[in-house]
Amino acid sequence: MALQLAVTTGEPAGIGPDLLVQLMQNVSQLPDDCGLVAIADPDLLIQRASALGLPLNTSVWQPGSATKRANSHIDVLPVTLAAPCQAGTPDTRNATYVLQTLRCAAQACVDKELHGMVTAPVHKGIINDAGIAFSGHTEFLAEFCHVDLTVMMLATEGLRVALATTHLPLRHVADAITAPLLRDILAILHQDLREKFGLANPRILVCGLNPHAGENGHLGREEIDVIEPVLNQLRDTGMQLVGPLPADTLFTDKYLSQCDAVLAMYHDQGLPVLKYKGFGRASNITLGLPIIRTSVDHGTALDLAATGRADGGSLLNAIETACQMARRR
């Protein structure tokens, strides 16, 4: 059976539309069993293709219909922009459009009309400036799917990094890392590594929160009071968990060569390492959802919109990852 994935184009003034237009110029680079459905305003795609000097045709996709694989063509589930779009210049009026594309893509996946969704970057600041509280795709999709907790994981060749906390101010992180949260995060990570990545008994490395993993309590007690007891409890259920380890030495071959994923305690503890290793060739994956969702590893790059200089490597990687997960499912 051919897979069909929804692709949202994110912030319309950013490079999301560019990436999709550029990708569709050569569909042979897509997985052979994969068809794409853009969740977007078709006029936006045509306009951006024109600005890039590239050909593009669109056709309206209907649930249950096959997607057409042809160069310079994309099937579209139409969502209309709220205001005209100028490349490089976001408009708060289009915040509602961005969120509606996410709702449409997620609903098509919930209804099993599409096999997964791949998202281009949104501009969180513009959405919040429009008066809509929005902290990220991960949290938005958790609420949409009525899921209490999801896990954000980025993956590139040879490294997967999941996060215990996501988009929090640093001063709030320590208070957010509780025993119930860690137990639930690790349970989701372990289950999805098994079910969506085909790892029968995944080995997970867990970072400490503090420098040197707390230095036996001298640099903080979160490891002793929270992290270690949770790991011991879950090891008794059969999980392969190593840690808590100092984050400054965990990301070395000595440890990474023997693990399937790393759990970092906060956003900038784990993601700088992953992006250094594979920026532009990584995908962002939301675990714990009833649907498959992957995304690019970069932002909106407003300065590159409509210039032809945007690199589509991460979008292609996110599509390939979503296809792999959908096949295993």
The three state secondary structure string of 305-320 is CCCCCCCCHHHHHHHH
Instruction: State the pTM of this model.
Output: 0.89
What is residue 281's predicted lDDT score, i.e. its pLDDT?
Answer: 87
197 in Cβ contact with 295 (< 8 Å): no
Residue type for 84, please?
Answer: P
What is residue 136's predicted lDDT score, i.e. its pLDDT?
Answer: 87
Q: Tell whether 94 is in a known binding site.
A: no
Q: Tell whether 172 is in a known binding site.
A: no
Could you tell me whether strands 151-156 and 159-163 are parallel, antiparallel, or unpaired per DSSP bridges? antiparallel
> How many Å apart are CA 328 and CA 324, to the nearest integer?
6
What is residue 83's predicted lDDT score, i.e. its pLDDT?
Answer: 97
3-state SS of the chain: helix, strand, coil percent to 5? Answer: 40, 20, 40
State the angle between helix axes of 313-328 and 16-23 in degrees (0 to 180), rounded to the nearest 10. 70
125-130: which pairs have CB atoms within 8 A and are 24 or more residues apart?
A: 126/11, 126/90, 126/91, 126/92, 126/94, 126/95, 127/95, 127/98, 127/99, 129/92, 129/95, 130/92, 130/93, 130/95, 130/96
Q: Tell whether 212 is in a known binding site.
A: yes
H or E segment and range at residue 152: strand 151-156
- The ranges of the chain with pLDDT < 70 are 1
β-bridge mates for residue 110, sequence order: none
Q: Tell whether 138 is in a known binding site.
A: yes
The tokens describing 281, both together, are: 């060739």
Q: Tell whether 284 is in a known binding site.
A: yes
Could you tell me whether strands 73-78 and 34-40 are parallel, antiparallel, or unpaired per DSSP bridges? parallel
What is residue 167's predicted lDDT score, i.e. its pLDDT?
Answer: 85
The tokens describing 310, both together, are: 């945007």
pLDDT tens per residue, range 139-165: 899 999 999 999 999 999 999 999 999
Helices within 111-259 (DSSP H only): 124-129, 137-144, 170-176, 179-195, 222, 228-235, 247-250, 253-256
Residue 244, classed as helix, strand or coil, is strand
Helices within the chain (DSSP H only): 16-23, 42-52, 95-110, 124-129, 137-144, 170-176, 179-195, 222, 228-235, 247-250, 253-256, 267-278, 313-328
What is residue 1's predicted lDDT score, i.e. its pLDDT?
Answer: 53
Which residue is listed with tokens 């319309």? Answer: 12
Task: Give the dihedral of Cα atoms 293, 97, 89, 41; nearest 10 deg.
Answer: 90
242 in Cβ contact with 208 (< 8 Å): no
Which domains are delineated in the chain? 3-147+289-327 (3.40.718.10), 151-275 (3.40.718.10)
The tokens describing 52, both together, are: 């890039």
What is residue 128's predicted lDDT score, i.e. its pLDDT?
Answer: 96
Q: Tell whether 167 is in a known binding site.
A: yes
> How many Å apart are CA 180 and CA 307, to the nearest integer?
47
How many beta carbons lie within 10 A of that of residue 172, not counting itself?
11
